[in-house]
Amino acid sequence: MPTTADFLPLNGTDYVELWVGNAKQSAHYYKTAFGFQSLAYAGPETGVKDRVSYVLVQNKMRLVLTSPLHSDSPIAEHHRKHGDGVKYLALWVDDAYDAFEQTTKRGGVATVQPKTLTDGKGEVRISGIKTYGEVEHLFIERKNYNGAFMPGFVEWKSTYNPAPTGLLYVDHCVGNVGWNQMNPWVKWYEEVMGFKNILSFDDNDISTEYSALMSKVMSNGNGYVKFPINEPAEGKKKSQVEEYLDFYEGEGVQHIAIATKDIVATVRDLMSRGVDFLKVPSSYYDDLFDRVGAIEEDIEPLKELGILVDRDDEGYLLQLFSKPVEDRPTMFFEIIQRKGAKSFGKGNFKALFEALEREQDARGNL
């Protein structure tokens, strides 16, 4: 009898790690602009000789920012090629050794052999496999650990502590892959990770006059971890996924969506702290109620802040996308508030991609 048991049970996202050019300054930006809080630090002072890492937290979301200390580091090499970007999408598991065994025996390529890290606060078990581009999934088991982050890190107490902005947890992380690579990665997530394809969008769903993309959403068994995978599609001009691939110089994480329970307050706060968002034309709101029906929010603040709304069979969602947070037009953030809806804002794709194309055009890349 085939078993339907989930061979890779996940408790959620453990952390997202970005390899960046200057982790100290990035940490300052994510604290100041996004309201993350100082949590932990590793570097020469803690016995780590080749890198520094700053760990930030806001509610259930942990963000790690790592920079190399020397030019011969693989982190420096990664940064030279890609600029700032996501290296690890770390997943929270109950058994990191079993997660490694289950995924590698199904074809996952090992990057971190299972190991146990210990200090006076207990132990963290960790393992890892590669996914698209140079991105890796780490499996983190921390049930026997009560320190700030993990062994090798010390608690980071800062005198500079800007208030949080209401960001709660990682809702989903989207990957951009190359031409004809979406379906192979969908199959990989099905076979190696036990994920299911819960939604698909083709180029008829996601196209403007000029450009197109295709996307499939992969979800783990309990739905706590969702990874949409995008690939470019043929259009009259270069699609946003192609622009990403050109500037990231390869496949990688396109955006990280972070949940809030009050998107108006969160976005207002983020804007006041200097986070730039994509702007849709005000005509977007003219037929909003025809499209999504009644919603609890007042339309005026949504219009003022440019927040987008979409509805599916189960409810509605509000969302907004930042501009890229690096100089290269690569990774950005999405802020999302779900009110029952489990989808990804299909009804907003057209307005959104037209907004994106205006940005792309301004960069001379359309």
Question: Residues in the site for Fe ion, rule: CB under 5 A?
Answer: 257, 334
Three-class SS state of 75: helix
Closest residue by Cα to residue 340 from 289, 286, 296, 285: 296
Distance CA(342)–CA(215), nearest Å, equals 16
What is the spatial distance between Cα 259 and Cα 255, in angstroms, rounded to a whole number?
A: 13
Report, in Å, the least distance between residue 41 CB and Fe ion.
Answer: 30
Distance CA 142, CA 155 (A): 16
In the complex with Fe ion, the residue whose CB is nearer, 140 or 167, is 167
Q: Quote the least distance from Cβ 318 to Fe ion, whole Å.
A: 13
Between 286 and 314, CB nearer to Fe ion: 314
Host H or E run for residue 270 = helix 263-272
Considering the complex, state which of residue 253 and residue 257 has its C-beta at the smaller distance from Fe ion.
Answer: 257
Q: How far is the CB of 138 from Fe ion (least distance, A)?
A: 22
Closest to Fe ion by CB, 150 or 356: 356
Question: Going by C-beta distance under 8 Å and a sequence separation of 6 or more, which residues neighbour residue 236?
Answer: 209, 210, 211
Q: Name which of 181 and 230 has its Cβ closer to Fe ion.
A: 230
Nearest to Fe ion of 214, 257 (CB atom): 257
Quote the least distance from Cβ 173 to Fe ion, whole Å: 9
State the minimum distance, in angstroms, from the CB of residue 209 to Fe ion.
Answer: 22
End-to-end CA distance of the chain: 52
- For 201, phi then psi, to 5°, come to -130, 130
| CB 45 to Fe ion: min, Å | 37
Residue 103 has which token pair?
Answer: 């995924």
Distance CA 231, CA 212 (A): 9
